Structure 1
């Protein structure tokens, strides 16, 4: 299993210097990829709890979340080998044609290293800020995928959707090759009888899945593996080559001073417990794990974050 690292975008990051240092340090340490997340704004009185989970406040560290595509552009220039991904961009917050063009441009700048991770989103405040609505978020995501297919294909481009209309036009640059599109959502417990538009969309259209691990240990590994098997079974039913699909697990790390007790969430606990969760993701069949240290409140700076990231990578290799 490969490891990826989310780049620092949070409050307190020195964007002029920290991004380049983080990108170069991660590549030198052997990380296979660098990732960014999207947080458009930080409402003082949110319409929704964080990630839509009742009672969960928005993390203060996300009062700033630097633009994910600008951050990846800086990383593209500062690195040579690592892939560059978004986990995730909220499709409804972007004009589809402009987003397709920006992703293709970063792919060209990086020499073909772009990975586009997308999601439907959950924040009413962010939808309102861009003139979107939560009710239409799935429709906007489908339109964005349609526009990607058209714009990244051959010219002239013709495509029509709720927000995009192109009639026989050239749209350049094109990606170096097809940019893999991964989708989040769908939950982590996908059974044979699960009926979900999000799961259907992943199976029909995505090059991969961006899930979270919901339970630590063997039970969590078995649960996630079963869900991934179900998605690939559905994809095969649509005539797709499932050997080319990837599962990239997202690990949002929160360290604790003492070992977290029974009932802990994955990637919450001591470093030893975090490493157990890394192994659980591998046992679940993950092709890659994104290590996200952006939510960690006690990091005093990017240097401390990177020292921890390097240690995680070294311990993963040694295990």
Structure 2
């Protein structure tokens, strides 16, 4: 199983220097991929908790730098690592400009982009761009339709609720096929499992981006069961399920002492975090994204990168 690292976008990051330093350090340390995430704003009194039942929004989320700008900076200073979004919220973007932006970054990077998308969950974030929770699924489906059209051959023609293109060139095209991965749908997210989300992944995505929240054999079994279900459905749609990727997200929170048996995955000491990395591997993950953006005690990106390198070395050992 490969390891990826989420780039620093959080409050306190020196965007002029830290993004480039993190990208270079991660590639040199052997990380296979670099990832960004999207958070548009930080509500003072959120309509929904960060995670059920009442997990508060992290203070570090008060700044989340633009994911594609950060990914572009990483593309310029790296050569081999894949560059992914985990995830962009489809309802926050108009489809054609986003397709064009992703294709541009793919050209800059020489064909290393992965487009990770999600439907979103926060009403505060969605309504800031004129969307509602009811729009989430149809906006995501429309985004996938537009990607298929504008990344294909010119002239492009497509009609959807928000997009009308009648025989036009839409350039640049991606340097190579951009894998489109989707988040959501898992039963271990703290939110209920969504058959519609799993079906969308099986029918349309090149891979799945779930969170791992339950540690140990139970977490591995639950994640593997959902992944097997997705691949079985994909086969039923006539797709080659063996070409789909499972890339698990690990949101790390370190503790001074070992966390108890009721802990969430990726919460605990370094030894426990390494155990959770192996749990993701046992679940059948092709890759795991290590996210250290939640660590408020990091005094600098340099400290974060020291821990990232240590995690990479421990996991490899």
Does the alignment reach a TM-score above 0.5?
A: yes
Equivalent pairs, count: 314
2:286 paired residue number = 287
1:263 paired residue number = 262
Q: Runs of 4+ in structure 1 displaced over 4 angstroms? A: none
**Structure 1 SS opposite 2:115:** strand
- For 1:76 and 1:258, the matched residues in 2 are separated by 37
Whether contact under 8 Å (1:188, 1:212) holds in the other structure is no
Segments of 5+ residues of structure 2 without an aligned counterpart are: none
State yes or no: 1:237 paired with 2:236: yes
Segments of 5+ residues of structure 1 without an aligned counterpart are: none
- For 1:14 and 1:50, the matched residues in 2 are separated by 25
2:308 paired residue number = 309
- Deviation string, structure 1 residues 81-132 (Cα, Å, up to 9, x no partner): 0000000000000000000000000000000000000000011111111111
Q: State the shift of 1:268 in Å.
A: 0.2
The 1:174–1:68 alpha-carbon spacing in structure 2 relative to 1, beyond 3 Å, is: same
2:37 paired residue number = 37
Q: State the shift of 1:218 in Å.
A: 1.5
- Deviation string, structure 1 residues 21-50 (Cα, Å, up to 9, x no partner): 000000000000000000001111212211
**Structure 2 SS opposite 1:50:** coil
- For 2:195 and 2:224, the matched residues in 1 are separated by 18
- For 1:143 and 1:195, the matched residues in 2 are separated by 19
Alignment of 1:70-219 (within 5 A): 70-188=69-187, 196-219=195-218
Q: State the shift of 1:189 in Å.
A: 5.6
- For 1:226 and 1:49, the matched residues in 2 are separated by 27
- For 2:124 and 2:298, the matched residues in 1 are separated by 28
Q: State the shift of 1:176 in Å.
A: 1.1
- Deviation string, structure 1 residues 251-302 (Cα, Å, up to 9, x no partner): 0000000000111100000000000000010111100000000011211110
1:10 paired residue number = 10
Using the size of structure 1 for normalisation, the TM-score is: 0.96
RMSD between aligned residues:
1.2
- For 1:189 and 1:102, the matched residues in 2 are separated by 32
- For 1:107 and 1:215, the matched residues in 2 are separated by 34
**Structure 1 SS opposite 2:39:** coil
- For 1:164 and 1:16, the matched residues in 2 are separated by 36
Q: State the shift of 1:195 in Å.
A: 6.5
Mean Cα displacement is larger for which, 220-229 or 242-251? 220-229
- Deviation string, structure 1 residues 162-215 (Cα, Å, up to 9, x no partner): 21111110000000111000000001469xxx7621111000000000111132
**Structure 1 SS opposite 2:248:** strand
Whether contact under 8 Å (2:213, 2:266) holds in the other structure is no
- For 1:189 and 1:204, the matched residues in 2 are separated by 21
- For 1:120 and 1:86, the matched residues in 2 are separated by 13
State yes or no: 1:22 paired with 2:41: no
Q: State the shift of 1:54 in Å.
A: 2.9
Whether contact under 8 Å (1:188, 1:213) holds in the other structure is no
